[in-house]
Amino acid sequence: MADHTQRASLPPSRRAPRLAAGRARALGLPTRGTTNANRLRRVDRWLVATQVARLRDAARPLVVDLGYGASAVTTLELVDRLAPEIDRLEVVGLEIDPLRVAAVAEQRDPPRVDFRLGGFELAGLRPVLVRAFNVLRQYDEESAARAWDTMRGALAPGGLVVEGTCDEWGRRATWVALDEDGPLTLTLAARVSDLERPSDLAERLPKALIHHNVPGQPVHAFLSAFDAGWAAAAGLSTFGPRQRWAAACESLADQGWPLVGPARRWRHGEVSVRWSAVAPV
């Protein structure tokens, strides 16, 4: 089995790799597998707030949780959070490590929740929604871009990939939403009481941005403007850090940054911006 600390790369995607039987070969390397209960609550909260209609409108509301790790806990939490909103929900957890798939076999309850062997090719499934968290940190930027393309190519029509990273306790997270045509938005989310400034989230930026957080690049300008708005709103700290975060988000909007979604999301310690405004140049 590949060592999870190995510097990972994907082969050039000239054509979809296949097994002799015609099934897509699982693409990727195992992650460390570490996870904690409630670690992905921030992205799950965003999914419930923004993606329920997409799933309700689908003929088959299939969700893939890619790289769930050594425990099924965050996959089962995803089911619990989405199921009350979506009839006929199906969630499939995919892992590239067969031992991890075997370890959670008792948690299977298909079609509501299942666990299978698979990687970025999504095991031949055609999901409406993919949650892929903490699976690309070990890859170089070029390979991460190919993984994006592979996942997008496996989506059902109108589907969405949500790819991101978070710390081990889920207090700091960023993610990108991508449809079949490419990236749409970047979202930052945090327990804002733990932040000194919004740019503390830079260490959690997706692979496509993390090495571009330098002067002259749009994402650096965005985080710098966010920090400036945060500093200007310091007087609101007496009302709580969420008030200060919301004020900093409002300053971004006032400066013309194309924020996405209702302002009420800001009070959750969350903000989304159009990808085109932060993409590398």
User: What fold is seen in the domain 28-181?
Assistant: Rossmann fold (3.40.50)
In terms of residues, how long is the chain? 281
pLDDT at 6: 39
Per-residue pLDDT tens digits of the chain, which is 281 residues long = 333 333 444 555 444 433 222 344 676 766 665 677 899 999 999 999 999 999 999 999 999 999 999 999 999 999 999 999 999 999 999 999 999 999 999 999 999 999 999 999 999 999 999 999 999 988 999 999 999 999 999 999 999 999 999 999 999 999 999 999 999 999 999 999 999 999 999 999 999 999 999 999 999 999 999 999 999 999 998 899 999 999 999 999 999 999 999 999 999 999 999 999 999 99
Measure Cα distances from 255 to 53, 57, 242 in Å.
Answer: 31, 35, 20
| DSSP H/E element including 102 | helix 98-103
How many Cβ atoms are within 10 Å of 210's Cβ, its own excluded?
Answer: 17
Whole-prediction pTM: 0.89
Provide Rg for the chain, Cα atoms. 19
Selection from 143, 160, 148 nearest residue 64 by Cα: 160
Q: Are strands 182-190 and 172-179 parallel, antiparallel or unpaired?
A: antiparallel
Domain residue spans of the chain: 28-181, 192-275
Omega prior to 111 cis, within 30 of 0: yes
DSSP for residue 130 = E
pLDDT at residue number 4: 32
Please spell the DSSP secondary structure of 9-41, one letter per residue: -----SS--B-TTSPBPP-S--------TTTTH
CA angle, corner 51, sides to 45 and 57, nearest 5? 145
Tabulate helix, strand, coil % of the chain (nearest 5). Answer: 40, 20, 40
